[in-house]
Amino acid sequence: MKAEAIWEQCAPASKSRLVFECPAAQGVRPVLPVLVLRGAKPGPLLLTIAGQHGRELHGPAGIARVFDETDPATLSGTVVFLPTVNPAGIRMHRQDYPFEDARYRRGVKACWNMNRTWGLNKKSYSGVIASAVAANFIDAADAVLDLHGWYSVSTAWGRAVDRELILAFGQRINVLRPSDCPTMDGMLEGYAEKLNKPFLIVELAPQNTLVPERVRQCRIGLVNVMRHLGMLPGVLELPAEQLVFSMKGRETLLESDCEGICEPLVEAGEWVEKDQLLARVWSLDSFEVIKEFRAPHAGAISNILAFFWGEDVPCSAVVHPGSPVVLVRGEAEIVRREAGSCKRGG
């Protein structure tokens, strides 16, 4: 007989702080905090995961806010939050446990990235967490939300068939993955897709710190998703304009061919037009402009001077030949709340 799910221990119209213990691996027995909002009425089971990577903190903070502020008596269904599925990584200020070096050191082959272990039954620390969470939470969920946070621009993405769920979170930049574009092995996104579960991944920049506006966006996004799924009453709080890109769409990376201080003239997420000045490089010898970067086509700035991982290789505005400088994402559909949608870019 199947064991009772952890959220089924909670009374209707209640909020509970519980723990879930995973098997031991690599000298650690992970214990995960579990926050449960059990609604007063029947409804979907929404699973929200955060903290797969130890320096991505806006998801855990947004979860804490929503858990504290939501009245379960107004909720239909159950929301299960796993705010820190990589507790050791968070405590170590590292993306991965026991180390993240493989992300940026070519000589290190071992990969400890939790988001490459889902469905693969790996016996590492990350692997046993992924296997235990999949069997006890994801397999039972009606929808899954995965919160991350990289250095560049905040983005929501997922399968094209989950378009409305993705837009419901309320990010300005959204990326849809066509059915013929597979995920990497071991990603939670791919595991959820095999089960045909509605799935959304959100990147909330930057890492290592908490920006009040990003925590606010996370809180609003979580509430929006619950409203979209019919779990909470109310109208979705959405921006006036959202950009929708295809994951197979045009992207252009501009790299430096010289050395100097690179001054960005646009911000991540900003829409730019063809030939618009994006950045310039100042010589460290003469302090004259020796290089200009212009937009190769219209699009949104997906990344500017924020390409590197690891605390011993921090992002820097000092560039050298071969340094990536700007990534421009091409044609977008623009969804306007009052005026419908249109195409923009090229």
Using one digit for the tens of pLDDT, what is the confidence trace for 209-266? Answer: 999 999 999 999 999 999 999 999 999 999 999 999 999 889 999 999 999 999 999 9
Q: Fold match between 6-246 and 251-330? A: no
| pLDDT above 90: residue 133 | yes
Q: Integer distance in angstroms from the first to the last C-alpha of the chain?
A: 57
Query: How would residue 110 be classed by pLDDT, with cut points 50, 70 and 90?
Result: confident
pLDDT at res. 1:
41
pLDDT at res. 36:
98
Percent of the chain whose predicted confidence (pLDDT) is above 70: 95
Q: Tell me which architecture the domain covering 6-246 has in CATH.
A: 3-Layer(aba) Sandwich (3.40)
| pLDDT above 60: residue 2 | no
pLDDT at res. 338:
75
Mean pLDDT for 164-175 is 97
| Model confidence, pTM | 0.93
Mean pLDDT for 118-147 is 97
pLDDT at res. 342:
57
Which residue ranges make up each domain of the chain? Answer: 6-246, 251-330
| pLDDT above 70: residue 47 | yes
Percent of the chain whose predicted confidence (pLDDT) is above 90: 85
Query: How would residue 308 be classed by pLDDT, with cut points 50, 70 and 90?
Result: confident
Angle of helix 212-228 relative to helix 58-69, nearest 10 degrees? 60
251-330 topology per CATH:
OB fold (Dihydrolipoamide Acetyltransferase, E2P) (2.40.50)
**Which strands sit side by side in the sheet containing 251-255, from one edge to the other?**
251-255, 324-329, 299-304, 271-272
